[in-house]
Amino acid sequence: MAKQQIILSEKYLLSALDRIAKNPSGYAVLYISASKLKPKHRHPKFLKILEKFFDGVVGLATGVFFPLSNGDFAILGRGFSQAVIDEAVEKLREGTSNDPILHGKKSSDFAAVLNFPERFASFYGFIANMVENGQTSNLQENLEPEAKPLEAGDVDQVLNILEQVDISELVKRQSVIQIKGANQFKIDMQEFFVAVKDLNQQFDGLDLQANRWLYFYILQTLDKRMLNAFFSAKLRQWPEFIGVNLSLKSVYSQEFIEFAKFFQEQNKKIVVEVQLTDIFNNLSLYFEVKEVLARGGHKILIDGVSTSSLKFLNAKSLNPNMIKLFWEPLWEFCPDNEDVKAIVSEFGKENLILAKCDSSQSLSWGIRHGFNLFQGPFMDNLEVAMIRQSCPDAAHCTVKDCLKRKRLLSGPEHEYCTQKNILEKLL
């Protein structure tokens, strides 16, 4: 999905309405009444989260996002589904403390779909009145060229390019940190992965994830290349648990067998991180892979789980060794989330990772809700800060330099560090 245009101007919205006025059929506006939220939910930080949230949720409508000067949001596009909007508002309810506009009322009281041409004239008049009264903000556009969706005819070209790319320089790592006590931290495991953003840069103007099935097919080749990259890695210190993002089928590849043997000889264990989509595509394969990994003393982790997906998933029946729950920024405004507490109680804090922690608030929130395993940008910063305290050359590079080098598996940037033993230090 291409990123939507972010436009801060009622005047520009009015101009867009003018352009479709002759044929508005098929268009609609999703109107989000953010101004009706409680004051604590209307401060800029929350509204920024809200904007990003709906920007992603309604992406299928190929909409244009307009933050309005009255505190509300309008998204002009096609194909809005009230079912999708209901789901979005339900997720908002999960992530906020009690707010009258979100709780106990219909979704449409907060996020209403105004279908055109039936509602075109009234909405046009509403925005025109805002412009006439001077309720406008500065025009700002954030445009990104739209990437071409991956098609079957592109696969051979993509695979050929992958054969030529030095994957070892694209593989990154990120620690999962266990909180042992006040200012006491321990690296529980490190996840190794190829970021989709970095991979897309190798294919100019091509969106690899546009077709889920073709992307899974390409991932099997990428998995093999990534696993082979470990044999040429420059790292001197490996954590006890090595986490790798893989498709289920890749566990049966010769590359994984060699990879597992390599780390077993070093008395290391492997945590295979798999996506829910991959599991649902082949449930029987999931249980086979889980058994194969268990025989080698390894673990399987379900990645990218949300509280809403757990409601529709009998995770106990899947019986994973670990689950990675993604931090939701809206949780910050819900100091006592019973759903999350129930998840921690059911699966045990030793089996749960709170990932994508991006602030001290996310860490504090997680600790209050029973987590002690954390991953994300804030934990990366914490890890590097502690490493730099013992580095004699810290003054000669920046925190950003250290973060970048710490995450790399190998490559010139990693080799540039003069204190690799400290850079690779395991807390």
Helices (H), 133-281: 155-164, 196-200, 212-229, 254-264, 276-281
Q: Is pLDDT at 335 greater than 80 in this prediction?
A: no
Burial 3-23 (b: 16+ CB within 10 A, else e): ebebbbbbbbbbebbeeeeee
**24-38, 45-59, 143-157, 207-221: segment of lowest average pLDDT:** 45-59
8 A C-beta contact, residue 316 and residue 302: no
pLDDT over 70 (residue 139) = no
Give 5's pLDDT tier (boundaries 50, 70, 90). very low
Q: In this predicted structure, what is the pLDDT of residue 77?
A: 81
The bridge status of strand 322-326 relative to strand 352-355 is: parallel
C-alpha atoms less than 13 angstroms from C-alpha of 78 in its C-beta half-sphere:
6
Does the pLDDT at position 79 exceed 80? Answer: no
pLDDT higher than 90, residue 162? no
What tokens appear for 261 in the block? 């043997």
**Share of residues in the chain with pLDDT > 90 (%):** 28
**Which residue would you say has higher pLDDT here, 264 or 48?**
264
In the structure, what pLDDT confidence band is assigned to residue 2 with cuts at 50, 70 and 90?
A: very low
pLDDT tens per residue across span 164-222? 888 888 889 999 999 987 778 899 999 999 887 777 777 767 778 778 788 888 888 99
The pLDDT, as a whole number, for residue 298 is: 96
Which band of pLDDT confidence, cut at 50, 70 and 90, is reported for residue 146?
A: low
What integer pLDDT is reported at residue 105 of this predicted model? 54
pLDDT band at 53 (very low <50, low <70, confident <90, very high): low
Alpha helices in 265-376 (DSSP H): 276-281, 283-295, 307-311, 315-318, 338-347, 360-368
Quick check: 7 pLDDT over 70?
no
What is the rounded (10 degree) CA torsion for 310, 312, 315, 318? -140
Higher pLDDT, 176 or 95: 176
Q: What is the mean pLDDT of the chain?
A: 81
pLDDT of residue 142: 32
| The pLDDT value given to residue 93 | 61
Checking if the pLDDT of 155 tops 80, the result is: yes
Task: Using the predicted structure, report yes or no on whether residue 145 has a pLDDT greater than 80.
Answer: no
DSSP-derived 3-state class of residue 191: strand
Say whether pLDDT at 26 is over 50.
yes
- 208 versus 318: the higher-pLDDT residue is 318
Answer with the residue of higher pLDDT: 251 or 316.
251
Average pLDDT over every residue of 149-154: 86
**Residue carrying the six token digits 């596009």:** 77
What the block records as the tokens of 206 is 């091509």
- Per-residue pLDDT tens digits for 376-406: 999 999 999 999 999 999 888 888 889 888 8
For each of the domains in the chain, give its residue range(s) and CATH number, in order of start.
Answer: 10-132 (3.30.70.270), 150-423 (3.20.20.450)
Q: Do 347 and 315 meet the contact criterion of CB atoms below 8 Å apart?
A: yes
